[in-house]
Chain A
Amino acid sequence: MKQEAPQPPVPSPSLPRSAVEGGGAVLRVQSLRKRYGELEVVAGISLAIRRGECFGLLGPNGAGKTTTLRLCLGLIGPDAGEIELMGEPVPLRARVARRAVGVVPQMDNLDPDFTVEENLLVYGRYFGLPDATIRARLPELLEFAGLAGRAASRIQTLSGGMRRRLMLARALVNDPELVFMDEPTTGLDPQARHVIWDRLRQLLAREKTILLTTHFMEEAERLCDRIAIMDRGRFIAEGTPRELIARHIEPHVVEVHGDGLDAWSAAEGSRLASRLERSGETAFCYTTDAAPLLASLERTSGLRYLHRPASLEDVFLKLTGRELRD
């Protein structure tokens, strides 16, 4: 047990206390801050990730997700706060902690001069693994990546999805406890994305821990046990996907567009929906009971609408706003 430490002045309400105070956290971060010039990119975040869970870091571009990952890996030093990765203080002993960690970076940085097999072999050597150990793992890694039979292929001959799967296999060459994934499916087509999701579920089934960043809400909803929504360096919401939807948003959404939207919104929509958000030519009506809205829309000609359950994306847009982040 840790000593009875005084609570920080502003405790994060949804931080799971069991994970913070008990053992079992593979990554623990307290009051982390990082500033670049005038901009505080990470502005005081705390989190604890338990063994075997999938934790999602969501946020718009520039929210500080990648910087948070780099801080947790000890690649950059924080201005304030504490990080403990695999029980080691970071950045002080980050190099040692990374022995039990795998990283799938956002950008493809496979070795273009090497074959699939050589990429894995050379990467395994960085962990101090003997060639024989790495070679013994190769068949399983290639199988996992769906690249069995492609061991001798040049990297240039692989598709985007294959490269991403090879990056995933490379991150597993040291049989890590915890895998960091920075936007693992960005730029992939739906087929390739589903394969990656399937592989991540396999990892979770093997009791691996995953920390992933994404801005695909669907991805977070499918994979993550817990989510933190990050904006401007802060966590603005935390919880399971269901909790976040239940806590922050009405269960039904009716999207409306078409001729006469303004008149309908003023006369009916704003009255019948508990909340109506306008984005361009579409009105998003949030409600606990969609029936009156749908009845009203049935009576109104010229309008087109879509009724669906509320999703994490609605929570995300409500909390981070609809304006573009460039």
Chain B
Amino acid sequence: MNSYTLPRLSVRFVPVWRRHFLVWTKLAAPSVLFNLADPTIYMLGLGFGLGALLPEVGGVSYIAFLAAGIICFSTMNTATFEALYSAFSRMHVQRTWDAITNAPLALDDVVLAELVWAATKSCLSGLAILVVVYALGVVTSPLALATLAVVPLIGLCFGALGLAITALSPSYDFFSYYFTLVITPMAMLSGVFFPLEQLPVPLRIAAEVLPLAHAVELVRPLTFGALPENVLLHVTVLLAYAVVGFYAATVLLRRRLAS
């Protein structure tokens, strides 16, 4: 069994996805509440609090500018959290993956189910944020609904990267490195909280390779009711991270679980 063969994609992942969904339905109320509360706190705290000090950012109010950032940041975090802590728990602590692979399912099916589930959680979170920003009146254009087409890409991208980290992780503690060294700096360099133009040129160039920056480039115009530019480029970058991350995660997990 070669660890490096391409992941075998199959609809066999569906019953595993349904398992995750059934667990989620048990905790749906607090989960939805969290999905609504988290962006609300950011929008109110940063948007109204900090925004009051800032007359205008990039031609709009700060809170309107922030909405797109929060959509990307929160959905990234949702997928990342699911692919790190929840997947690790199922793989290492509860041994759910072992139970599944004793049935006629392969590890590849389990990993694909984790990826799709992480993206699903991102979509649930994205939907909640849209409800919040529409309710706050921060976003009014119906075009902002199109962000729901971008959110699955964000979910797949960060779900895949997270699973690769999970494959390498000896314990939960390892994940704080990933947040501190990767996720948080990325949020600062991707135009989530402030425009990229504020950064010195070398950092702006560095931001070109960050998937979150490309996600923000897609989502921000939509929240203003405009169509984004360079759609193909941004989508390609997000998909490339998803594909490479998923391949890396699959290979690393095959190697980890075969020993």
Contact = CB atoms under 8 A, between A and B. Distances in A.
Contacts of A170: 99
B104 A127 contact: yes
Interface string B67-99: 000000000000000000000000000111011
Nearest to A77: B1
9 contacts: A95-B105, A98-B103, A105-B98, A109-B99, A111-B19, A111-B94, A123-B103, A126-B16, A126-B103
Contacts of B1: 76-77, 91
A99 interface: yes
B106 A95 contact: yes
Interface residues of A, number: 29
Interface of B: 1, 12, 15-16, 18-19, 22-23, 26-27, 94-96, 98-106, 258-259
Nearest to A91: B1
Nearest to A121: B22
Interface string A100-124: 0001010111111110001000110
Nearest to A171: B102
Contacts, number: 65
The 7 closest A-B pairs by CB, nearest first: A126-B103, A109-B95, A125-B15, A103-B102, A77-B1, A109-B99, A98-B104
Nearest to A126: B103
B16 A109 contact: no
Contacts of A99: 104
Interface of A: 36, 73, 75-77, 91, 95-96, 98-99, 103, 105, 107-114, 118, 122-123, 125-128, 170, 174
Please indicate which of the listed interface residues A95, A96, A127 has the most CB atoms of chain B within 10 Å of its own CB. A95
A205 B14 CA distance: 36
B117 to A, nearest CB: 14
A107 B95 contact: yes
A96 B99 contact: no
A294 B157 CA distance: 77
Please indicate which of the listed interface residues A77, A111, A112, A174 has the most CB atoms of chain B within 10 Å of its own CB. A111
A164 B123 CA distance: 37
Contact of B102 (A98, A114, A122): A98
Contact of A126 (B94, B104, B259): B104
Contacts of B94: 109, 111-112
B104 A118 contact: no
